[in-house]
Structure 1
Amino acid sequence: MMKRTMRGLIAATCLAAAAGAAQAHTGHGTSSLFDGLVHPFGADHLLAMVAVGVWSVSAWPANKAWQGPATFLLALIASSALGRLGVGVPYLEHGVSLSVVVFGAMLWFAGRATVSPAVGLGVIAAAASLHGLVHGAETPESGFAGYAAGFLLTATVLHLGGVGIGLAIRRRLAEHKRWALGGLGALFSAAGFYLFGQLA
């Protein structure tokens, strides 16, 4: 059972990285609900949001696990609005890719050490802000509402997917939680470095 579950996690991570090498920041429109629904399936966004869901379930008690995804979504929409107004930071795409590396490290530490909730939420909010600035910068003035609704909906689904993976690790791999999270974290970080390398 453990080997089958781990193989599934590894395969999902590798497929996400391979499918999103282009990072979904080009090649589609940014002015409709559908465009917003599609955008977060770029590997950098997808991996980051799934990682937040996994980490939240793994690092915190069940009654507080919602705080990680909620923090990400709030920071995402706020920074998207700023991005739409022209606010940006240097090397934004690089920062988004490195956020996947950071979330992978958080998963690795989740099975080995306790992370302060404030620190965890701060990292999530900062990373989500980078993702939001990317979303907002690509949105024309006429299409922000529909586009934002779309990417928020998909982001929520991706977080729930991460929560599901975290619950599966907790229930099926309880005795091997440390290794499962460590392996998953290493895969996420490796994918983040790969995506970063594609920008060089």
Structure 2
Amino acid sequence: MTSSLSTSSTRLFVRAGAALCLGALPLLASAHGTDAAHAHTGFAEGLAHPYTGLDHLAAMLAVGLWSGSGASRRAWVAPLSFVGLMLAGVLLAAGGWALPAIEPMIATSLLALGLLLAARQQLPAPVAAALVGGFALFHGAAHGMELGDSAAAVTGMLLGTASLHLMGWLAGRSLQQRHGWVTRAAGLGVAVFGSALLLA
């Protein structure tokens, strides 16, 4: 009884997350075209921001899916590392530190995360944290340039990111036993998307 309720709740949450992602699709055009005059300054804008860039959206869901599919025994390590080091990237950007090759590194993160997810590759927790966290620095730097120095917007963005990780993790947990091919297909899709961005 409890198991069926848990499965039902997970499916409902995943469907709600998918609907939220689809609802954000009209905003994709503004993903990286934001300049200082259009910087997000409020909590709500920051919360929605991770949903408005397809590259960030794919990376954050991939981290959650990979973690939920058994990336390491401590499934929370990679998402927590991503959020923490993404904040570091935001702070670096806000402080005027310019990381090199931000867009190519974001594309590389999609390629790497997609391949890890497609292969359902397990890594030791410290390695998973370092890999995901390293990529998160570049995602954070990109967000930081768009969000400016608004603490409310950054807080919202971190919560939005965590929500995407949670959706991905729940989906990964739900699919890993009987429908592992879905996560593999999703991983291949993310990897192809990353490759396309690198070649563009």
Q: What's the TM-score bracket when you normalise by the shorter of the two chains?
A: 0.7 to 0.9
Distance in 1 (CA, whole Å) between partners of 2:193 and 2:30 is: 12
Instruction: Report the Cα offset of residue 58 of structure 1.
Output: 1.2
CA RMSD of aligned residues (A): 2.8
CA contact (8 A) 2:114 2:189 kept: yes
Q: Determine which of 67, 92, 104 is the counterpart of 1:56.
A: 67
Q: Determine which of 102, 109, 115 is the counterpart of 1:99.
A: 109
Cα distance change, pair 193–61 in 1 and its aligned pair in 2 (3 A): closer
- Paired residue type of 2:196: Y
CA contact (8 A) 2:71 2:123 kept: no
Question: 1:64-79 to 2 correspondence within 5 Å?
Answer: 64-79=74-89
Cα distance change, pair 169–20 in 1 and its aligned pair in 2 (3 A): farther
Instruction: Report the Cα offset of residue 61 of structure 1.
Output: 6.0
Greater shift after overlay, 148-157 or 96-105? 96-105
Instruction: Report the Cα offset of residue 181 of structure 1.
Output: 2.9
Distance in 2 (CA, whole Å) between partners of 1:22 and 1:154 is: 19
Cα distance change, pair 134–61 in 1 and its aligned pair in 2 (3 A): closer
Q: Determine which of 135, 149, 152 is the counterpart of 1:127.
A: 135
Distance in 2 (CA, whole Å) between partners of 1:21 and 1:196 is: 19
Q: Determine which of 159, 180, 189 is the counterpart of 1:187.
A: 189
Structure 1 runs, 4 residues or longer, greater than 6 Å off:
none
Cα distance change, pair 23–129 in 1 and its aligned pair in 2 (3 A): farther
Count of residue pairs brought into register by the alignment: 180
Question: 1:1-200 to 2 correspondence within 5 Å?
Answer: 22=29, 24-27=31-34, 28-41=38-51, 42-60=53-71, 64-110=74-120, 113-141=121-149, 143=150, 145-170=151-176, 174-177=177-180, 179-197=181-199, 200=200
Cα distance change, pair 40–196 in 1 and its aligned pair in 2 (3 A): farther
Instruction: Report the Cα offset of residue 23 of structure 1.
Output: 6.3
CA contact (8 A) 1:29 1:35 kept: no
CA contact (8 A) 2:72 2:122 kept: no
Distance in 2 (CA, whole Å) between partners of 1:116 and 1:85 is: 33
User: Which 5+ residue runs of structure 2 have no aligned equivalent?
Assistant: 1-10
Distance in 2 (CA, whole Å) between partners of 1:101 and 1:117 is: 20
Deviation readout 1:106-136 (Å, 9 max, x if unpaired): 10221xx432322221110011110011122
TM-score (norm 2): 0.77
Equivalent residue of 1:30, what SS?
Answer: coil
Instruction: Report the Cα offset of residue 60 of structure 1.
Output: 4.2
